[in-house]
Structure 1
C-alpha cells in the first residue's frame, strides 16, 4: 500500500466518528459513612473521642492502681486513654483521637473541691478537638470535675500558667472550634451545666 493510500485510509477512519475509549480504573469500594454509635457498655468511665466533626463519648473500663486515686493520677490515667488508639469496635464506628502523644499531666493545684490539672502544653496550643476531648473526659470524672467543667492550666511560668475553667457543653461537643472562646464570669452564676452558650477558657 502506498503512503498516499495509507494516509487516505487513516483520514477516512478518523472521519467516521470513531472515538478512543478510556480504560476503566478500579477506585476501590465507596467510602462508608461513620455511624458514631459507641460500642455498648454498661459500666465504666466516659472517654471522649472525635467522630466526624464532633466529639462524643464512649465507655471504657479504666482501672486505677490501689492508692492512685488523686487528681493527678486520675488525670494521667484518663489522658493515657485519650492518647491510645481506639479499639477496633470504636474505629469501625468512626471514632478517632486527636490528643497528641507528647502531652502529659505535669502536676496539679487547688484542693479536692476544685482541683487544677496542669498540662505539659497550654490548653490553647492544642488542636481544638483534642482540647474538647480532654475537657469533657476530665469534667465528667467526679475526681477532676463537677460533671460539666474542669480547671486546666499550662506549664509554670508560661502564658497559660493561670488556671481557667473550661466547660463541656453541647456547643463545644458539636463544634469544637467554640472551645477557643471564654464566657464572662457572670454568664453562668448558678454553676448549672451549660448547653447552649459558647463555653470555655482561652489561652
Structure 2
C-alpha cells in the first residue's frame, strides 16, 4: 500500500470512529478516499445538536439535513400527556416539533439544518382512515422534498410507523392518504429522491 493510500485509509478509520462515538450513523455520512472531501463533516457534540437535555426525558432520533443527506441525530424530549390525543399522535407531534426547531449555533457550524417549518401540526386518523394514519395540517405534496423526506424517515424510524416500517400520511381531512417508505436512496439524496409511496384505500 502506498503512503497516500495508507494515509487515506487511516483518515477514514478515524472518521468512522468519531461518528460512532457521537451517536450518528456512520453509513449516513460520505467518506471519500483520495483528496480530502470538501463537504461538511456533519460531526457535532451532543450538547450542540440537542435542544433538550432533561434527565427525565425520552430518547428519540430525528433526521436532519447535512451535506445534502439525511443524518440521524439523538434528542431527549418530553412527550406531552394530553388526554385528547393518542400516544401515537403525541409522539408524532413531538417529533415534528423537534424537526422544526432551528439547530443550535454549534449544530449549524457542523453543517446541520432542517427544512421542516414551524407551525405544522399532526392529528390522528379521520373516519374511514386506517388506524395507523397520521394527518398533517399541510398536505405532504405541499412540503419541500427535503421536509417530506425528513418527516417520513423520522416517523419510519420511530414508534409511529406501521408494523412494516412504512408511514401512512395525509393532509387535512378529506385529502388522499399515501403509504411512504424511507429508503437508503432517500436518506442519501433527499433533495432529488422522493420517498416511495402508494395510495391507501379508505
Please tell me whether residue 200 in structure 1 is matched to residue 197 in structure 2. Answer: yes
Partner of 1:107: 124
Compute the displacement of 1:58 (Å).
0.5
* TM-score normalised over the length of structure 1: 0.63
Indicate if the aligned counterparts of 1:79 and 1:104 stay in contact, CA closer than 8 A: yes
Indicate if the aligned counterparts of 1:118 and 1:152 stay in contact, CA closer than 8 A: yes
Deviates more, 1:126-135 or 1:57-66: 57-66
Partner of 1:193: none
Partner of 1:83: 100
* Cα deviation code 1:16-73 (max 9, x no counterpart): xxxxxxxxxxxxxxxx8421125459x8211111112111110100221346661111
Q: What are the ranges of 5 or more consecutive residues in structure 2 without an aligned counterpart?
A: 1-37, 48-57
Indicate if the aligned counterparts of 2:63 and 2:99 stay in contact, CA closer than 8 A: yes
Indicate if the aligned counterparts of 1:136 and 1:168 stay in contact, CA closer than 8 A: yes
Q: What are the ranges of 5 or more consecutive residues in structure 1 without an aligned counterpart?
A: 1-31, 181-198
* TM-score normalised over the length of structure 2: 0.63
Partner of 2:89: 72
Larger radius of gyration: 1
Compute the displacement of 1:145 (Å).
4.0
Please tell me whether residue 125 in structure 1 is matched to residue 122 in structure 2. Answer: no
- Structure with the higher fraction of residues in helix conformation: 2
For the aligned residue pairs, the C-alpha RMSD in angstroms reads 2.6
Partner of 2:194: 179
Please tell me whether residue 57 in structure 1 is matched to residue 72 in structure 2. Answer: yes
CA distance in 2, matches of 1:145, 1:40: 29
